[in-house]
Structure 1
Amino acid sequence: MKSHKDLDIYNLAFEYAVEVHKLTLKLPKYELYEQGSQVRRSSKSIKDNIIEGYGRKAYKNDFIKFLIYAYASLLECKSQLEMISQLYPDLEVESMIVKYDELGAKIYKFTNYVESNWKTNR
């Protein structure tokens, strides 16, 4: 890996954050700064924590810590999407929830890989 962009989990998290951002622009105006803002921040936090962890990849425990933060942000994002799904069923966010379930599994597997196989000099 030469860059965080070589990580499938980063690329998916980035793609989904863009999708969530666009989706939230369809919310009623009064929700743009409430539910919309919260889900946008949590979706972007996933990719940001993956990047920050990758930036600390020389320190295995730091890398793992930020992957766990990314997973936690994913759970928050998914919870926000589930709320939006209940409040605004016309937006059809179910496919995003499924995508985040799949990304969560990938982050979990990658975290396990790093825990078991990651070699550092420090």
Structure 2
Amino acid sequence: MNNFENLEIWKLAREICNDVWFFMQNTSLEKDYSLKNQMNASSGSIMDNIAEGFERNGNKEFIQFLSVAKASCGELRSQLYRCMDRKHIAKEEFDSVFSKTIMEGKKIGAFMAYLKKSERKGSKYD
């Protein structure tokens, strides 16, 4: 694994970002500027923190950035509720993206646990 684009957790984060973008472009969320901006930021935070943490080349820093990414999954889940409650998206659309954020949080958590136990501490320590 030599770049973050190969990480399964980054690929899923990108998919979630694209789902949020779809809502922003194709639903009434487009006019709910505050919520739209918050959802864009939190979904982007998942993706971006995985990438930035990976590029730090050290497990301890990577775990810290993964923790932020995982927290952003929770933030986005809360925003998805608001999005559905305000009738911007249907229950089926909510369920689809919500389940992806649950899966993403679990995958990030499992990866963090793996990194904590790993003997390899990152390429910056080679």
Gaps of 5+ in 2: none
Structure 2 length-normalised TM: 0.87
- Once the 2 structures are TM-superposed, how far is the Cα of residue 93 of structure 1 from its aligned partner? 1.5
Q: How does 1:1-80 map to 2 (within 5 A)?
A: 1-25=1-25, 26-31=27-32, 33-57=33-57, 59-80=58-79
Distance 1:73 1:81 in 2: 12
The 1:23–1:30 alpha-carbon spacing in structure 2 relative to 1, beyond 3 Å, is closer
Number of residue pairs the alignment of both structures matches: 120
Q: Which amino acid aligns with 2:15?
A: E
Which stretches in structure 1 are left out of the alignment for 5+ residues?
A: none
Q: Which position in structure 2 is the counterpart of 1:98?
A: 99
Q: Once the 2 structures are TM-superposed, how far is the Cα of residue 30 of structure 1 from its aligned partner?
A: 3.2
Q: Is the 8 A contact 1:27 1:36 kept in 2?
A: no
Aligned identity (percent) is 32
- SS in structure 2 at match of 1:93: helix
Instruction: State the partner residue of 1:88.
Output: 87
Deviation at 1:29, TM superposition (A): 4.7
TM-score with structure 1 length normalisation?
A: 0.90
Deviations 1:48-106 (A, max 9, x none): 0000000012x221111000010011111111011111221653322110111011110
CA spacing shift, 1:23–1:90, aligned 2, 3 Å: closer
